[in-house]
Amino acid sequence: GENVEQHPSTLSVQEGDSAVIKCTYSDSASNYFPWYKQELGKRPQLIIDIRSNVGEKKDQRIAVTLNKTAKHFSLHITETQPEDSAVYFCAAPISGNTPLVFGKGTRLSVIA
Amino acid sequence: DVKVTQSSRYLVKRTGEKVFLECVQDMDHENMFWYRQDPGLGLRLIYFSYDVKMKEKGDIPEGYSVSREKKERFSLILESASTNQTSMYLCASRKYSYTEAFFGQGTRLTVV
């Protein structure tokens, strides 16, 4: 089955700096790669996703890049703000199925 | 606005009790999931369902069962609660394998 590794587990950045979180996956048939943000005490919510037919997707300060050959994808947050502080999860689907396998999460702290 | 609603935000149960966690979605999604969230372990898949009456085991099904009698409702059952089942439980649903998964608000279960 799918295995998703996420690094780093914690990340601290100064406000205004960039943050990068990386994930690797094992199943070469995986075709959809979402990123979720979970604020303290709240449910995970999708912030950006990418399908396997594109290499990069941007949405304002957030971008995701995908390297299918190397089987890894990354979340990039530019011009970080204190409200970006949260736990971020990457995920990939079990091959051909709908359940998502999640990474263990990255706790991002943006220091003002 | 799409919604996934879990019946309880907090539950305290005694060891050996039978526990029911209920989840309802109003998006007409075929696919529903139960995850368990523990610090440092991310979200781990317990069970999922593609359709009414249908269920599949996830990564950690031991000690749990599920019921899907109606499309909108997916129940997680702890047949005999144990202290190692103290955790945050998250329900989710999604339409297709390449679309967003929506989460419920979570149920924090404490077994004493």
User: What six digits make up the tokens of A70?
Assistant: 């190397």
Cα separations in angstroms, A100 against A30, A112, B14: 10, 34, 31
Closest partner residue to B103 among A44, A99, A104, by Cβ? Answer: A44
Q: Report whether pLDDT(A86) > 80.
A: yes
* pLDDT score, position A96: 61
Closest partner residue to B104 among A43, A46, A98, by Cβ? Answer: A43
Name every residue whose Cβ is closer than 8 Å to that of residue B65 and which is 6 or more positions away in sequence. Answer: B47, B76, B77, B79
> How far apart (Å, rounded) are the C-alpha atoms in residues B86 and B108?
8
* pLDDT score, position B102: 96
What is the gyration radius of the CA atoms in chain A, in angstroms?
13
Determine contact: B49 vs chain A, CB below 8 A. no
* Whether A91 contacts A102, CB under 8 Å: yes
Q: What is the pLDDT of residues A49-75, one digit of tens each?
A: 999 888 999 999 999 999 999 999 999
* Whether B54 contacts B32, CB under 8 Å: no
* pLDDT score, position A53: 84
Closest partner residue to B45 among A42, A99, A104, by Cβ? Answer: A99
Average pLDDT over residues A40-54: 93
* pLDDT score, position B2: 65
Closest partner residue to B42 among A31, A32, A103, by Cβ? Answer: A103
Percent of chain A exceeding pLDDT 70 equals: 97
Average pLDDT over residues B26-36: 95
Q: Report whether pLDDT(B13) > 70.
A: yes
Q: Contact B50/A96, CB-based, under 8 Å? A: no
Determine contact: A89 vs chain B, CB below 8 A. yes
Q: What is the pLDDT of residues B72-88, one digit of tens each?
A: 999 999 999 999 999 99
For residue A46, how many other CB atoms are within 10 A of its CB? 15
* pLDDT score, position A30: 87
Determine contact: B31 vs chain A, CB below 8 A. yes
Would you call the peptide bond into A34 cis, given omega within 30 degrees of 0 as the criterion? no
A102 to chain B nearest CA, in Å?
Answer: 6
- Main-chain dihedrals φ then ψ at residue B84, nearest 5 degrees: -75, 0
Q: Contact B35/A89, CB-based, under 8 Å? A: no
**Which of B73, B86, B104 is CA-nearest to residue B11?**
B86
Question: Mutating which of A45, A51, A87, A98 best tests the B interface, going by the most B Cβ atoms within 10 A?
Answer: A98
Average pLDDT over residues A34-57: 94
- Main-chain dihedrals φ then ψ at residue A84, nearest 5 degrees: -80, -10
Q: Report whether pLDDT(A85) > 70.
A: yes
**Which of A63, A24, A91 is CA-nearest to residue B92?**
A91
Average pLDDT over residues B54-65: 95
